[in-house]
Amino acid sequence: MSDESYPPLRVRDLAVTDRPQERLERLGPAALSDTELLAMLLRSGSRGHNVISIAQRLIAEAGSLAALIKWNEADFRRLTGIGRVKALQLVTVMEIVRRGLAKGAEPEDEVLNRPELIHAHFKAQIAGLAVEKFWVLCLNRKNRLLKQVEVTSGTATSSLAHPREVFREAIRQGATAVVCVHNHPSGDPAPSAADVQVTRQLRDAAKAVDIELLDHVIVGRSGADPQGRGYYSFREAGVI
């Protein structure tokens, strides 16, 4: 979409009391629009592109402020006025938001004994995630969450999700059961041969350390899942 599609709005064209910084100081962040909040984050524009118009274009291109959480560096740099440094700053903020949402999705004593609950628990955490991550959920006797641990980040294979790493934290936490979880960035949770292999290794290791492997769940998106669920459970499939 061309820059001409967006009418220019210059900060100096606004009354002093209507400028984002002054409004933030007087009224607090809740009083600012999405465009103003993003403009405060950007701080400055570039030659011929003021910060307000850049913020307007970002939100218009993404569709909403919330949708920017899925953007990567290349997405941000497509817009005139955003260079490498500013794009990296925005990617960093979006990652902070994603991790904050992940922490918010971890209430104490959360029961995680069914794959649909596990999928719901991870929905915010995997939004826009471009790499595979592998987590272990340490559970108590009532299948309530003790601690969530990220074991690997990259590609979830048998070499990256070694049973030693998976069960080390479970033993440390005194967990009686674990759920292993990893995401598929494509959104399709169908298992690969490596996924099946690591699940069998984890199943055998769980018996050796006397900690129940409650499930291994692959999380994705329901829209990308031919089954429409957005997750795959190895327990439901009979592998565990």
Burial of 83 (0-12, 13-18, 19+ CB in 10 A): exposed
| Residue 102, pLDDT score | 63
Domains recognised in the chain with CATH numbers:
3-102 (1.10.150), 107-233 (3.40.140.10)
Cross-strand pairs, 183: 219
d(CA 102, CA 126): 9
Residue-wise pLDDT tens digits, 86-141: 899 898 888 888 777 666 555 556 778 899 999 998 988 888 788 899 999 999 99
Report yes or no: 112 and 121 within 8 Å, Cβ to Cβ: yes
d(CA 146, CA 208): 21
Residue-wise pLDDT tens digits, 164-192: 889 998 998 899 999 999 999 999 999 99
Picking from 9, 120, 123, the residue whose alpha carbon sits closest to that of residue 60 is 9
